[in-house]
């Protein structure tokens, strides 16, 4: 199964993608994770992306589209979940061309809906492991030992773009550039809106139910 999972920053895309991957075994393609890995490796792509990400701006379409094309090209038949792409209408149009080029389709375009005040609480409390990328929350899901990852023992930190100024900017950028993507898929009747509020397990249940339809 091929799924697009999008929604505002902090809606739970990464959290839910990890659960879907564990249950259904498809490949998880997160453009945010790909950029963070490139930044960690200090590659040219990472250095370019970091200039935009730290401020909460989008990385330019040409850079993102080229990166996703390479990954999609290498899928060789495995199902996928695209997390955080497309995030602009030109990216959605490019994805259409890409899928046609590789004879692939999308089964569901899933949109996770969460009100803004909850997004701010989720993002400002989010903590991530520097080693394995595990996601925590300072209040609702802290690691067992403060600052130490339960899974790999590496340091747990706050993402630079989860600082207050960057969060505010990400929400503005989201409204301007990513909300129109929702309308793009709505017009084709392929959008499935899922309530992303409540406990993580409840959101997952709603996603599973929507996928089963």
Residues in touch with ligand AP5 (CB under 6 A): 9-15, 31-32, 35, 52-53, 56-59, 64, 84-85, 87, 91, 122-123, 125-126, 135, 137, 140-141, 161, 170, 199-200, 203
**How far apart are CB 71 and ligand AP5 at their closest, in Å?**
12
- Residue 44 CB, shortest distance to ligand AP5, in Å, is 16
Q: What is the bridge-based pairing of β-strands 3-6 and 108-113?
A: parallel
Closer to ligand AP5 by Cβ: residue 2 or 91: 91
The bridge status of strand 135-137 relative to strand 126-129 is antiparallel
Closest residue (Cβ) to ligand AP5?
32
Number of residues that this document lists for the chain: 213
Strands 156-157 and 126-129: antiparallel
Shorter beta-carbon distance to ligand AP5: residue 105 or 201: 201
Q: Rank residues 200 and 210 by Cβ distance to ligand AP5 and give the closer one.
A: 200
Shortest Å distance, C-beta 1 to ligand AP5 = 20
Active site residues: 13, 87, 126, 159, 170
Ordered DSSP codes for 144-162: SBTTB-TTT-PBEE--GGG
Q: CA dist 195 to 23, 54, 109, 135, 183, Å?
A: 20, 28, 14, 20, 17
């Amino acid at each position: 199964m091929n799924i697009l999972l999008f929604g505002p920053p902090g809606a739970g895309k990464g959290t839910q993608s990890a659960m879907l991957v564990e249950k259904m075994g498809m490949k998880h393609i997160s453009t945010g994770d790909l950029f963070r890995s490139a930044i960690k490796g200090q590659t040219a792509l990472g250095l370019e992306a970091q200039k935009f990400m730290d401020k909460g701006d989008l990385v330019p379409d040409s850079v993102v589209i080229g990166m996703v094309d390479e990954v999609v090209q290498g899928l060789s038949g495995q199902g996928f979940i695209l997390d955080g792409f497309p995030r602009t209408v030109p990216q959605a149009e490019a994805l259409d061309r890409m899928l046609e080029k590789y004879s692939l389709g999308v089964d569901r375009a899933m949109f996770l809906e969460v009100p803004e005040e909850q997004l701010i609480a989720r993002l400002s409390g989010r903590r991530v492991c520097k080693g394995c990328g595990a996601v925590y929350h300072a209040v609702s899901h802290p690691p067992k030992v403060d600052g130490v990852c339960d899974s790999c023992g590496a340091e747990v930190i706050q993402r630079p773009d989860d600082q207050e100024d960057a969060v505010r900017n990400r929400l503005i950028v989201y409204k301007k550039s990513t909300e129109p993507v929702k309308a793009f898929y709505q017009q084709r009747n392929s959008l499935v809106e899922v309530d992303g509020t409540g406990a993580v397990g409840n959101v997952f249940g709603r996603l599973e139910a929507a996928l089963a339809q």
